[in-house]
Amino acid sequence: MNFTAIDFETASSNIPCEIGLCVVREGKIKETRSWLIKPSCFPYMNWWNQQVHGISNEMLENAVTFDQLWEDELKPYFMNERLVAHNAPFDVGVLKATLNHYNITHPTFSYFCSCQLSRRVWTELPRHGLGYLCDEMGIYFNHHRAGEDAEACAKVVLYAARKLGADDVENIVQKSGVGVRLYDCSATKSNK
């Protein structure tokens, strides 16, 4: 079972200030990473967002911008990958808006939503937010920090796979009926 879980924390609306990735290979977590991102709106930080994730302007002062991070670090994690996020429409929307802002060529990948998956696998639960699910499953993490959220998302998918008796992502999709989308904006070109 191979996939990469992603999570963004935002400074405002869909402007990222942190990204986290958790790489799963052969059903095991191989790598979890996170990077602070100097947001395009710096030094503005939405007060509510800052209260949620605790990321301050001081923490972002020496961070690199997304376009620098994309070329130097992030791009390989997205190219032709199977991605998952908890509330995928939000995270994919942040990615799309940020790539557009920096005029970066969009990668091609497929993705699905672990929140949608959890609704199909644990129908008896009253809520399916990442914090609630992880409490129910005994997964302890520092919620609303991107690397930890990405790893928690990956663990939720691995728990769902065990419950479904699925040995790969295709099996998860088939047994749960969760939708997988292809993100292919290859028509969006830039010099990067």
The enclosing domain of 70 has a CATH number of 3.30.420.10
pLDDT score, position 107 = 93
Q: Which two tokens stand for residue 69?
A: 């991070």
The pLDDT confidence band at residue 189, using thresholds 50, 70 and 90, is: very low
What SS3 state is found at 127?
Answer: coil
pLDDT score, position 15 = 98
What is the tally of structural domains in the chain? Answer: 1
pLDDT score, position 72 = 87
Q: What is the pLDDT of residues 21-40, one digit of tens each?
A: 999 999 999 999 999 999 99
Residue 44 has pLDDT above 70, yes or no: yes
pLDDT score, position 112 = 97
49 inside domain: yes
184: amino acid identity, one letter: D
DSSP 8-state class, residue 105: P
191 inside domain: no
Query: Do 63 and 56 contact (CB within 8 A), yes or no?
Result: no
**Domain coverage including residue 125:** 3-183
pLDDT score, position 192 = 40
What percent of the chain lies above the pLDDT cut of 90?
92
pLDDT score, position 186 = 52
Residue 187 has pLDDT above 80, yes or no: no
Mean pLDDT for the stretch of residues 89-114: 96
190 inside domain: no
Inter-helix orientation angle 130-137/146-164, to 10°: 60
Query: Do 36 and 59 contact (CB within 8 A), yes or no?
Result: yes
Q: CA angle, 118 as apex, 25 and 140 as ends, to 5°?
A: 70
What is d(CA 1, CA 54) in angstroms, rounded to the nearest whole number?
A: 33
109 inside domain: yes
What SS3 state is found at 149?
Answer: helix
Give Cα separations from 182 to 101, 109, 122 (angstroms): 21, 6, 25
Q: Say what the pTM is.
A: 0.94
Q: What is the CA radius of gyration of the chain?
A: 16
Inter-helix orientation angle 114-121/88-101, to 10°: 170
Mean pLDDT for the stretch of residues 95-121: 96
Residue 41 has pLDDT above 90, yes or no: yes
Asked if the peptide bond before residue 43 counts as cis, ω within 30 degrees of 0, the response is yes
Residue 57 has pLDDT above 90, yes or no: yes
23 inside domain: yes
